[in-house]
Amino acid sequence: MRLFVGIPIVDDARREIIALLGHLRATDWPVRWVNDEGLHLTLKFFGEVTPERLDVIEEAVRFAGQGTGALDLRLDDLGVFPSTTRPRVLWAGIGAPPGLELLYDRLERGGEAIGFAPEGAPFRPHVTLGRVREGHRLPRGALEEAGRGLTPVPFRAAHLLLYESVQTMLGPRYVARLTLELSA
């Protein structure tokens, strides 16, 4: 099973991203767009794991989420990884309080303690919108143009989920294996 920890995108921020994706899908950009149903902010990717590891992973996630409390986040800007000259992933950035970085760090350290390597890159909270097809680039000025269509929207993250990514003919479907309420 393929597992990761994330925060679902809810309410007005979800509606804003879905509206933006609607406009982006109408372009001829060489991008595989994400499904609306799976919008989330990934905090820790465990990858392919055996079912026997599920209990210890759930325990690490529970421990990391203890005392975090709900987080006030904000849909922020658009960007790409790794760079604007060689984009592979198009994303919507998330503005966040220090509590999100602390939660991310606790998940990274908890994962490392049970045998999962830390990410190794600086934490940049984001929601993946799509992946640029291999060997292609975005049209010149595309990111700036799309960014004008995004409204910064605040939202509250009240849940932390351990997701299983299940591959289907229509792309990945994310199934919640564990849902934790973020309450102090």
**Sheet with 159-168: strands ordered across:** 40-48, 2-8, 159-168, 171-181
Strand duo 2-8 + 40-48: pairing: antiparallel
Is the separation of the CB atoms in 20 and 129 below 8 Å? yes
Closest to 131 measured CA to CA, from 43, 46, 30, 52: 30
Which of helix, strand or coil describes residue 83?
Answer: coil
Catalytic residue of the set 23, 126, 136, 159: 126
136 tagged catalytic = no
Q: Give the whole-angstrom CA distance, residue 116 versus residue 102.
A: 18
Q: Which of 23, 40, 136, 159 is flagged as catalytic?
A: 40
Q: What are phi and psi of 144, to 5 degrees?
A: -65, -45
* Residue 40 a catalytic site member: yes
Active-site residue numbers?
40, 126
